[in-house]
Every structure is written in structure tokens, then in C-alpha cells.
Amino acid sequence: MLTEKEKLRREGLYKRVNLSEEKRKKFSERIVNNLESLPEYKSAKKVLLYCPVKGEPDLTPLFEKVLKGKELILPKVKGKELELYKVSSYQCLKKGKFGIPEPIEGKIIPPEELDFIVIPGIVFDLQGYRLGFGKGYYDRLLKKTKGIKVGVAYSFQLVDKLPRDPWDVPVDIIVTEKNIRRLRNGLS
């Protein structure tokens, strides 16, 4: 028997991977523009992004821009945790655990130091709750962070309400290709 979360995860992933490359590129560019317009992004020093897999919005055009005036941080799976690396160039190169391209090396940054945390997801709800791949990596990371938590998704990945577990950590802002939804002030 599939749990409700597993069912929604499958459906959401199916929709996301089946988005055409053309739309993915167009929507990803709009998501990048929306991210750049946020005051929290403008003032941020340490920015966590990710290397896209399985149809996730491709924010790699933002990497170069972040590197110009901020610190670019990328996550890497290490056991049950996401380890955070400060990278100095475009480093979505090596495939790590689960085939996710990960930065190879860099200075390790403690989660508490992140200012602006960008989180991909399979489904988000209107309160900022999120379904990931089902391993809880971001839930474990986010409980240690103080920065603003920004979920990124295509608008078709949003639903009214997701099932939630006690360990789920919601995001503060959801950015899609259509709009920016502010859910809380990020100080929780």
C-alpha cells in the first residue's frame, strides 16, 4: 500500500519529468528572475542553490550571478545529511549518490550560516509544506538553518494542502514561474 505522500510524490514527479524542455527552460528563467527580485536575495551573502535533477527548475544561470557578489553554496549527500560546500565555479559535475550531480570540493559551510536557502520539491502546498524525494534530507537540514527558506517549483506543482508529518519543515516563500507567495516572515 502506498502512503498518501508516496502517491502524490509519484504523480508530481510524473508531471514534472514530462514537462517539455522548452517550457522547462522558459519557466526556469522566470523563476530565476523572480528569485533575483526578492529583497532577501539582494541582501544575502550565502546562497544555497542545487544542481537540477529529474526535471527540477534549472537555476544554473543564476550560479554565475551569485558568484559575482555572493557566496554560492551547493549541497552534497553525506550519509543521512546534506553537506554544504562553498564552490568557486560552476561545479555540477560529478554524479554522487542517487545520480545527483554534486560539487566535488570546497569549504564546508555550517547550515546556520546560510542566508538564502533555495529548495526544490516535487509538490508544495499553500502553507509552504513540501514533498521531496522521500528521504527527508531537506527536513533535517532546514531545522538547523536560520535563513529565509525559498521553495521553487513550477506552478502546476502547487496543491492546497499536503499530508504533513511532525518533522516536515515548511518554506517561507514559494517562487514559481507565475508568482511569488510569501507565507511567513522566515523568523520562525
Half-sphere exposure of 111 (CA within 13 A, CB side): 17
Give the whole-angstrom CA distance, residue 101 versus residue 134: 18
Q: Work out whether the CA dihedral 61, 67, 68, 69 comes out positive or negative.
A: positive
Instruction: Give CA separation, 130 vs 64, 65, 120, 154, 172, in Å.
Output: 27, 27, 9, 13, 11
Rounded to 10 deg, the angle between the 21-37 and 60-69 helix axes is: 30
Q: Which does 163 bind (CB under 5 to 8 A by kind): Mg ion, ligand ADP, none?
A: none
107 is in the binding site of which of Mg ion, ligand ADP, none (Cβ under 5 to 8 A by kind)? Answer: none
Residue 81 interacting with Mg ion (CB under 5 A) = no
At its nearest, how many Å lie between Mg ion and the CB of residue 123?
11
Q: What x/- string results for residues 132 through 171 when contact with ligand ADP is judged by CB under 6 A?
A: xxxxx--xx--x---------------------x-xx---
Q: Which of 5, 24, 76, 149 binds ligand ADP (CB under 6 A)?
A: 5
Grid coordinates 537540514 are at which residue? 141
Give yes or no for residue 168 binding Mg ion (CB under 5 A).
yes
CB neighbour list of residue 7: distance below 8 Å, 6 or more residues apart: none
Q: Is 182 in the site for ligand ADP (CB under 6 A)?
A: no
Which stretch, 64-72, 100-108, 129-137, 150-158, contacts ligand ADP (CB under 6 A)? Answer: 129-137
Contacted entry of Mg ion, ligand ADP, none for residue 61, CB cut-off 5 to 8 Å set by kind: none
In the list Mg ion, ligand ADP, none, the entry touching 134 (Cβ below 5 to 8 angstroms by class) is ligand ADP
Q: Give residues in contact with Mg ion (CB under 5 A).
A: 139, 168
